[in-house]
C-alpha cells in the first residue's frame, strides 16, 4: 500500500484546491471545518460541504473511516475527514460529542490557543491541564470515535490528554521545538510520550512553525524529519501541512481573534506581519508532497519509511479510531 495523506488543511475550499490535492495524489485530507463556530454554525459548515461534495463528486467525498481512504485510493479521489480546531461546537454539552460525530467530525482539538472548557491553549500564561468537563469529553470522544487533537494546546494539557485518553491522540499539525521554538511546536519529552502511547505527529509546513519561516529549505525540513524520527521512531510521524491557501488575511485575523477580544491579537504573527505568511517555494500547495518525497529520499529514508511518513502512518492511525 502507498497512501498519501495530508492530515491538516484549512484552505479557502474550491474545485481548484480539490484538483490540486488530486494532482498531489492525496487519498485523504483532514479538513478543518470549524475554528470558533458553535454547534449550529458547524451544521451550517456541513451544509456548505454538502454542496462541495455534490459539485465535485468526481474529486472528493466525505470520509468516515479508514475504509474511505482505501476507497479514495482505488477511485482516485480524496476522502475529506472533518475536524475542529477548537471544541466550540460541543459548547458545554457532552451529548453534542456524539452529534458532531454523526455529522462527520473525526478530529477535535481540545483548545485553540486560548483556554477552552476542556483544556488550556498554548497562548495562555498558565496551564491547568485537562478540566473536569475535559475528562468527560475525552471519555466520550474515545467512545464515539473522535480523535483528541492537541496541536494548539499547552504542554501539561497535552500530557494530561495522552494519559486520560484510552485511544492514541494526535498532534495533527506542529513541529518539534528542538528545531524551531515556535510557541506551538512541541518538546522532545512530549513527542516521546506521544509516540510511546501510539499517538501521531503531523509535521507542519506553515511558515510560522518552520525554521527560517518562508525561507526554510527543503533540505533543512527533511533533516528535521530525520532528527524527529530519532526521537519518535518512523511510525508515528506524518504530514499535517496546515495549508491555508487562497484565504484573505481577514481569515487569519478571525482565526486569532474570534469574538473574544476587542483589542487585536496577532498570534504567531506580529503587528508588522499580521497576515498569512508566504509558503516556502517547495511547498506552495499539496503538490509539494512530491518535493517532500524527493527530499526524504535524498536524506536517506527507505521506501517504507517514506511511504509511512507521507501517508501510511496516518492510514494505520485511522484504523484505530473507531
- Cα–Cα distance between 12 and 246 in angstroms, integer? 5
What count of residues does the chain have?
Answer: 322
Show the CA angle centred on residue 4, arms to residues 281 and 316, nearest 5°: 135
Binding residue (CB under 8 A) for its own copies from 127, 149, 242, 305: 127
102 binds its own copies (CB under 8 A): no
Minimum CB–partner distance for residue 158 and its own copies (Å):
14
Q: Which is nearer to its own copies, 27 or 37 (CB)?
A: 37
Minimum CB–partner distance for residue 250 and its own copies (Å):
18
Task: Check if the beta carbon of residue 17 is closer than 8 Å to that of residue 11.
Answer: yes
How buried is residue 135: exposed, middle or buried, by Cβ count under 10 Å (0-12/13-18/19+)? Answer: middle
Binding residue (CB under 8 A) for its own copies from 46, 103, 140, 287: 140
Candidates 62-70, 120-128, 291-299, 305-313: pick the segment binding its own copies (CB under 8 A): 120-128
Strand pairing partners for 34? 84
Q: Which is nearer to its own copies, 118 or 229 (CB)?
A: 118
120 binds its own copies (CB under 8 A): yes
Binding residue (CB under 8 A) for its own copies from 51, 54, 74, 132: 132
Show the CA angle centred on residue 219, arms to residues 216 and 223, nearest 5°: 105
In this structure, the strands spanning 170-171 and 5-9 are unpaired
259 binds its own copies (CB under 8 A): yes
Residues that bind its own copies (CB under 8 A): 36, 38, 88, 91-95, 114-117, 120, 123-129, 131-134, 136, 139-140, 258-263, 265
Amino acid at each position: 500500500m502507498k497512501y498519501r495523506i495530508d492530515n491538516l488543511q484549512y484552505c479557502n475550499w474550491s474545485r481548484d484546491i480539490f484538483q490540486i490535492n488530486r494532482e498531489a495524489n492525496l487519498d485523504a485530507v483532514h479538513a478543518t471545518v470549524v475554528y470558533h463556530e458553535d454547534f449550529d454554525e458547524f451544521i451550517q459548515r456541513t451544509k456548505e460541504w454538502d454542496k462541495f461534495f455534490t459539485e465535485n463528486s468526481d474529486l472528493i467525498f466525505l470520509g468516515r473511516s479508514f475504509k474511505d481512504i482505501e476507497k479514495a485510493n482505488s477511485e482516485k479521489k480524496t476522502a475529506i475527514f472533518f475536524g475542529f480546531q477548537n471544541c466550540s461546537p460541543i459548547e458545554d454539552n457532552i451529548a453534542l460529542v456524539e452529534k458532531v460525530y454523526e455529522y462527520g467530525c473525526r478530529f477535535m482539538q481540545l483548545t485553540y490557543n486560548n483556554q477552552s472548557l476542556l483544556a488550556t491553549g498554548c497562548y495562555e500564561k498558565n496551564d491547568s491541564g485537562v478540566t473536569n468537563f475535559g475528562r468527560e469529553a475525552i471519555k466520550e470522544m474515545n467512545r464515539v470515535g473522535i480523535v483528541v487533537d492537541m496541536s494548539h494546546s499547552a504542554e501539561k494539557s497535552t500530557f494530561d490528554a495522552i494519559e486520560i485518553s484510552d485511544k492514541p491522540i494526535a498532534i495533527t499539525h506542529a513541529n518539534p521545538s528542538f528545531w524551531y521554538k515556535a510557541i506551538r511546536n512541541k518538546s522532545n519529552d512530549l513527542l516521546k510520550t506521544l509516540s510511546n502511547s501510539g499517538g501521531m505527529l503531523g509535521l507542519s509546513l506553515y511558515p510560522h512553525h518552520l525554521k527560517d519561516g518562508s525561507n526554510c529549505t527543503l533540505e533543512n525540513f527533511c533533516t528535521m524529519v530525520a532528527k524527529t524520527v530519532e526521537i519518535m521512531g518512523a511510525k508515528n510521524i506524518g504530514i499535517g501541512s496546515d495549508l491555508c491557501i487562497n484565504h484573505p488575511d481577514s481569515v487569519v485575523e478571525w482565526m486569532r481573534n474570534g469574538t473574544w477580544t476587542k483589542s487585536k491579537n496577532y498570534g504567531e504573527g506580529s503587528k508588522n506581519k499580521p497576515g498569512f505568511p508566504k509558503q516556502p517555494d517547495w511547498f506552495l500547495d499539496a503538490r509539494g508532497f512530491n518535493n517532500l518525497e524527493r527530499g526524504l529520499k535524498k536524506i536517506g529514508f527507505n521506501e517504507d519509511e517514506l511511504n509511512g511518513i507521507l501517508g501510511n502512518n496516518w492510514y494505520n492511525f485511522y484504523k484505530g479510531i473507531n
